[in-house]
């Protein structure tokens, strides 16, 4: 789908970062038809939430399975094959060449689109150096994005600050999915590289992943709709 054809509403992915499928389902019901795309990560996925991929699909929603896979190629390949039958739209892997190659070969034509996580948005320069990398954060992100493109990965998960530089590297064919989104006035929590929804879209993000600003809002539906309005405004 061309980037411009994605409806503003469908560009918001709400992270179901909750401890049980029952709590996640309650939030999905509260959000109703306002939200069309959900993300299931470690917390919910490891608490039985992966079965929600199917029920959310049946309810007409898309699901991003965010398990950030990274293992030897054969294990990644087998894992992606198993996950392919769930019906997820996106699946994340860490942007290591062996891992990306295995995931792309296992997803075939019918499996989830593979998104590579370059560097987690909770990392800053000091965290990258402490992890032992000789490249700085921007260089590491750029190198991993180039490798992802060469290996046929479908998209990149990146910090909104990196979107403009990454678009130059990956072109229009790959989608850019950005967490680290904070509507003005909300707490940044452990995210160190954050941006408002409007600015992230204006910088070239295709999809925004938002967790706490919606999940912990007094009125989650209103919070989601206000983010979507900001997205629509930024798209003009």
120, two tokens: 């987690």
Question: Which alpha helices (H) appear in 108-184, and where do they start and end?
Answer: 125-130, 137-150, 163-170
Out of 179, 197, 198, 204, the only residue in the binding site for ligand C5P (CB under 6 A) is: 179
Shortest Å distance, C-beta 94 to ligand C5P: 10
Q: Is residue 117 near ligand C5P by the rule CB under 6 A?
A: yes
CA 196, chain centre distance (Å): 16
Does residue 156 interact with ligand C5P by CB under 6 A?
no
- Which residue from 209, 200, 81, 100 is spatially nearest to 149, judged by alpha carbons? 100
* C-beta of 199 vs 212, nearer to ligand C5P: 212
Among 9, 14, 36, 41, binds ligand C5P (CB under 6 A): 41
Residues paired with residue 39 on neighbouring β-strands, in sequence order? 15, 64
Residues 188-227 that bind ligand C5P (CB under 6 A): 189, 191, 209-213
H-only helix segments in 131-215: 137-150, 163-170, 197-202, 212-215
Applying CB under 6 A, which part among 54-62, 117-125, 130-138, 160-168 lies near ligand C5P? 117-125
Return left, alpha or beta for 158; rule: phi > 0 is left, psi -120 to 50 is alpha, else beta.
beta
- Binding marks (x or -) toward ligand C5P, 57..96, rule CB under 6 A? ---------x------------------------------
157 lines the binding site for ligand C5P (CB under 6 A): yes
Catalytic residue among 9, 68, 77, 149: 68
Q: Is 59 exposed, middle or buried (0-12, 13-18, 19+ CB in 10 A)?
A: middle
Residues in the interface with ligand C5P (CB under 6 A) total 17
Tell me whether residue 68 is one of the annotated catalytic residues: yes
Q: Taking CB under 6 A as the rule, does residue 17 contact ligand C5P? A: yes
175-178 and 155-157: which strand pairing?
parallel
How far is it, in rounded angstroms, from Cα 89 to Cα 138? 28
Residues that bind ligand C5P (CB under 6 A): 15, 17, 41, 66, 117, 120-121, 157, 179-180, 189, 191, 209-213
- Residues carrying an active site annotation: 68
């Amino acid at each position: 789908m061309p980037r411009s054809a994605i409806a503003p509403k469908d560009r918001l992915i709400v992270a179901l970062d909750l401890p049980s499928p029952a709590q996640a389902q309650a939030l999905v019901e509260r959000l109703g038809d306002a939200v069309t795309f959900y993300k299931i990560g470690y917390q919910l996925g490891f608490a039985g939430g992966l079965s929600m991929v199917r029920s959310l699909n049946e309810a007409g929603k898309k699901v991003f399975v965010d398990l950030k896979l990274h293992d030897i190629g054969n294990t990644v390949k087998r894992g992606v094959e198993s996950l392919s039958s769930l019906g997820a739209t996106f699946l994340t892997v860490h942007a290591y060449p062996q891992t990306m190659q295995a995931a792309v070969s296992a997803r075939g034509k019918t499996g989830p689109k593979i998104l590579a996580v370059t560097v987690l948005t909770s990392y800053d320069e000091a965290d990258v150096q402490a992890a032992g990398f000789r490249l700085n954060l921007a260089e590491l992100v750029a190198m991993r994005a180039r490798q992802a493109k060469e290996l046929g990965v479908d998209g990149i998960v990146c910090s909104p600050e990196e979107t403009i530089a990454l678009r130059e590297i990956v072109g229009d064919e790959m989608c850019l999915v950005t967490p680290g989104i904070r509507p003005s006035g909300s707490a940044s929590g452990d995210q160190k590289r954050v941006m408002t929804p409007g600015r992230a879209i204006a910088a070239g993000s295709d999809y925004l992943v938002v967790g706490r600003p919606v999940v912990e809002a007094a009125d989650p539906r209103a919070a989601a709709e206000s983010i979507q309005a900001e997205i629509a405004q930024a798209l003009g």
